[in-house]
Structure 1
Amino acid sequence: MSDNWVVRNLENALETWNDKLTEIWGLLTATPEEFKGGKIWNVILDINGALQVIGTALLVLFFVVGVMKTCGSFAEVKKPEHALRLFIRFALAKGAITYGLDLMLSLFKIVQGTISTIMNSAGFGQANETTMPQEMITAIENCDFFESIPLWAVTLIGSLLITVLSFIMIMTVYGRFFKLYMYTAIAPIPLSTFAGEPSQHVGRSFIKSYCAVCLEGAIIVLACVIFSLFAASPPQVDTTAPAVTMVWKYVGELIFNMLVLVGAVKTSERIVREMMGL
């Protein structure tokens, strides 16, 4: 790291950005069981198991309400084909509550496989780091004290924006994990709605919403891959321009690329929901 205070200011911000991007890369390939050592997952499992009792009670309620709304009379219920259909619906709904956790984990693993395929196809084992061009570092180090004052102002603003963007991005990825945990914990209650035909749309919406949260990871990975390609080809540095102009153009283009990445990460939920028709 350079001893120049202007260069060091910008390098610290880029180091924060690279650290957060690496952390995001690791989070997107992690499973809920591995996140934070699995302590959160164990609590979620306990909550899910406790809510299965409530889900089973609601299962009976939704089933009875569904029978009352879909059957015109008791004689209709006694018809073999209708009774069989009701029995199959009840059994499937009970299975969804009992094995819903396994189903959700299977869906998550499918999406994780998609994420791994995207990474392998792009040829990225990790996100590319964003670094300052050596030409710009040399130009800054050759400036005297008074020339460094406007440079310090430019890099201070740029560093602040880069740091804020890095934390916004990591908070979005952490938010995805929170949503995964909440969906998993509360799953038995919405899954119980499959027992009644009038209420089954709630269960379908829940499954589609959970799939959307899982697929957010794939959209975020795509955004990170695209940004990594930008990072591999950093903004051009005009060595003939004054140091202030050189730094201003570089920082401006760099922040623009970062804004595009953060925007893609922040809108990943909306993109996936639009794709799934939610």
Structure 2
Amino acid sequence: MGGITEKITEFIKDLLTGWITSNLDTMFTDVNTKVETIAAEVGKTPQNWNSGIFSMIKNLSDNVIVPIAGMIITFVLCYELISMIMEKNNMHDTDTFMFFKYIFKMWVAVYLVTHTFDIAMAIFDVANHVVSNAGGMITGSASIDVTEALKTLLETQIEDMGIGELLGLGLETMLVSLCLKIISVLITVILYGRMIEIYLYVSVAPIPFSTFTNREWGSIGNNYVKALLALGFQGFFMMVCVAIYAVLVNAITVADNLHTAIWSVAAYTVILCFSLFKTSSLAKSIFNAH
């Protein structure tokens, strides 16, 4: 009778041990995959991230927004001409340079609208260069290697646990694994949300670019460029967040204390997610973009 009970207990412990091992493996794999995704995605320009979406946005901008920008340029230039005449005492204090300046402003306004996409993409190319260089300088990996650690745990800590302890540990790992999956989804939302925001900004680029040549309306274009810079350099801040996360997780020793390691990974991943959320407001604050 005692042998049967011992075999049943051993069978249940094997099931629970397999469940725990599977939870741990899935948990750390999800974290590693998501961190690698962040590092790969933030370094992409709008053209490289999804060429199909980029082509659609460019076509919309060229065929729908550029004509509207043309009307705005006409209004802005007329307003500029009227203001210039009024400033010169109703044409009584005119000089030749005034007309050359006005023609130059017309040329600049048309050039900016017709080369809007080139200028906007140049901003993201610069930001991508910064992100790529940052990725090359960040040493260490944010991956958590649990193969040897799990083997050690199976040979020491888990084998010495009773059924109750194993059941509690299984529920703990399942809960943390579920939380990390939810956080992984949130991180994906942040990454995709940033790129969609970039496409939305770029789609209407000709309109704010058409206001640059006027002193009063130019604030629209200036703030738009600041917003583009903020979106571009948000990727740099994301890379810094991943670098900080890498330093934190590499200090975790899974084999010493399993419970501490599990909750440390969960805590650091929550901090990473929160930090990624804050990168948008931080970038806009630094570049004074509204």
**Percent sequence identity over matched residues?**
16
Structure 1 vs Structure 2 CA RMSD:
2.2
2:21 alignment partner in structure 1: 7
1:87 alignment partner in structure 2: 103
Cα offsets for 1:83-116 (capped at 9, x unmatched): 2222222221211111111111111111111111
Does structure 1 retain, via aligned residues, the 8 Å contact 2:226–2:288? no
Does structure 2 retain, via aligned residues, the 8 Å contact 1:194–1:200? yes
One-letter amino acid of the structure 2 residue matched with residue 48 of structure 1: S
Q: Summarize the Cα distance change of 1:43–1:141 in structure 2 as closer, same or farther, 3 Å threshold.
A: farther
2:190 alignment partner in structure 1: 172
Does structure 2 retain, via aligned residues, the 8 Å contact 1:220–1:268? yes
One-letter amino acid of the structure 2 residue matched with residue 47 of structure 1: L
2:153, 2:57 → 1: CA distance? Answer: 50
1:137, 1:160 → 2: CA distance? Answer: 22
Shift of 1:195: 3.4
1:44 alignment partner in structure 2: 57
Shift of 1:21: 1.8
TM-score when normalising by structure 2:
0.84
Shift of 1:226: 1.7
1:147, 1:181 → 2: CA distance? Answer: 51
2:112, 2:45 → 1: CA distance? Answer: 22
State how 1:238-249 maps to structure 2 within 5 Å: 238=256, 246-249=257-260
Number of equivalenced pairs: 267
One-letter amino acid of the structure 1 residue matched with residue 237 of structure 2: I
Q: Summarize the Cα distance change of 1:182–1:150 in structure 2 as closer, same or farther, 3 Å threshold.
A: same
1:20, 1:270 → 2: CA distance? Answer: 22
Shift of 1:188: 0.5
Asked which structure has the greater CA Rg, the reply is 2
Q: List alignment gaps of at least 5 residues for structure 2.
A: 1-15
Shift of 1:222: 1.0
2:92, 2:59 → 1: CA distance? Answer: 41
One-letter amino acid of the structure 2 residue matched with residue 100 of structure 1: T
Does structure 2 retain, via aligned residues, the 8 Å contact 1:6–1:140? no
Q: Summarize the Cα distance change of 1:67–1:167 in structure 2 as closer, same or farther, 3 Å threshold.
A: same
One-letter amino acid of the structure 2 residue matched with residue 272 of structure 1: A
Does structure 1 retain, via aligned residues, the 8 Å contact 2:17–2:166? no
State how 1:47-126 maps to structure 2 within 5 Å: 47-50=60-63, 51-69=65-83, 71-72=85-86, 73-75=89-91, 78-123=94-139
One-letter amino acid of the structure 2 residue matched with residue 111 of structure 1: A
Shift of 1:69: 4.0
Does structure 1 retain, via aligned residues, the 8 Å contact 2:198–2:231? yes
Counterpart check, 1:197 vs 2:218? no
Q: Which moved more, 1:80-89 or 1:183-192?
A: 80-89
